[in-house]
């Protein structure tokens, strides 16, 4: 009986092997989902009482930030959500005084460098200078960081605004790079259309 079982098992394995050899082998590369991007169109964020205005994509939504730090969120803090990409730009705003300007700029650098130095494989910062007088620094972070794009802008006398793009997903530079490149254009458009009030 035992020999009969092994004979049947052997025949089944040989049949499977012979049948599988008849079909051509197709190599399948490791890949990610195909992402179709919407057309670039923009709308204006121009809410009464806010000390700034800018253009943002029509495929995004803006909501007041309701998270709490210390006692409350900033009065003019907002989130720009990209539901299709599971991403969010966190926008924080603070008024500038002679006493806090250096601290705000230092915090902008710390948020980019100190929190991501151990994970990032590279950090590039570049100066921002728009025709409307908006100046600041744009940070591009490489590697599996929580955010690959962040910036701060100011007029150095009254306004200071910081933005950072995050995803509600595990940081994976390979899979997020195409979305980062797409949304980076929107971040730069936001900066170039930013106006102070």
DSSP string, the chain: -HHHHHHHHHHHHHHHHHHHTTSPP----------PPPP--EEEE--TT-SEEEEEETT-EEEE----STTS--TT-EEEEEGGGTEEEEEEEEE--TTTHHHHHHHHHHHHHTTTTTT-SEEEEEEEE-TTS-EEEEEEEESS-S-SEEEEEE-SSSEEEEEEEEESS---HHHHHHHHHHHHHHHHHHHHH-EE-
**Residue 115 belongs to some domain of the structure:** yes
User: Could you tell me the CATH number of the domain that includes residue 134?
Assistant: 3.40.1000
Question: Residue 140 pLDDT more than 80?
Answer: yes
> Contact 187/89 with Cβ under 8 angstroms?
yes
pLDDT at 106: 94
- pLDDT of the residue at 11: 65
Question: Is residue 18 predicted with pLDDT exceeding 60?
Answer: no
| pLDDT single digits (tens) 66-123 | 876 655 557 899 999 999 999 999 999 999 999 999 999 999 999 888 766 677 778 8
pLDDT value, residue 189: 97
| Residue span of the structural domain in which 86 resides | 42-196
pLDDT in tens, 22-47: 556 666 666 666 789 999 999 999 99
Cβ 17 vs Cβ 11: under 8 Å: no
pLDDT at 39 (0 to 100): 97
Q: Per-residue pLDDT tens for 143-165?
A: 888 788 999 999 999 999 999 99
**Average pLDDT of the residues in 182-193:** 96
Maximum separation of any 2 CA atoms in the chain, in Å: 94
Which pLDDT score is estimated for 112? 85
Domain count, the chain: 1
- The pLDDT assigned to 149 comes to 92
Higher pLDDT, 196 or 176: 196
Listed in sequence order, the residues at least 6 apart from 103 whose beta carbon sits closer than 8 Å to its beta carbon are none
The pLDDT of residue 111 is 87
Structure tokens at 193: 């259309």
Q: Check residue 144 and give its pLDDT.
A: 81
| Beta-bridge partners for 196 | 52
**99 lies in a domain?**
yes
Q: Does residue 21 belong to any structural domain of this protein? A: no
- Residue 144 has a CB neighbour count (10 Å cut-off) of 15
């Amino acid at each position: 009986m035992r020999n009969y079982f092994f004979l049947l098992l052997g025949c089944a394995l040989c049949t499977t092997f012979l049948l599988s050899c008849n079909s051509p082998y197709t190599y399948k590369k490791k890949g990610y989902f195909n992402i179709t991007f919407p057309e670039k169109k923009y709308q204006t964020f121009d809410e009464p009482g806010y000390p700034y205005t800018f253009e943002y994509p029509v495929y995004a939504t803006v909501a007041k930030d309701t998270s709490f730090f210390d006692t409350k969120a900033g009065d003019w803090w907002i989130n720009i959500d990209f539901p299709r990409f599971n991403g969010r730009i966190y926008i924080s705003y603070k008024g500038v005084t002679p006493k806090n300007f250096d601290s705000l700029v230092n915090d902008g650098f710390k948020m980019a460098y100190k929190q991501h130095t151990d994970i990032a494989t590279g950090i590039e910062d570049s100066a921002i200078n728009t025709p409307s007088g908006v100046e600041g620094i744009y940070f591009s972070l490489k590697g599996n960081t929580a955010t690959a794009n962040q910036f701060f802008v100011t007029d150095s006398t009254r306004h200071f605004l910081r933005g950072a793009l995050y995803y509600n997903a595990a940081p994976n530079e390979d899979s997020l790079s195409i979305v980062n490149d797409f949304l980076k254009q929107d971040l730069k458009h936001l900066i170039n259309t930013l106006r102070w009030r």
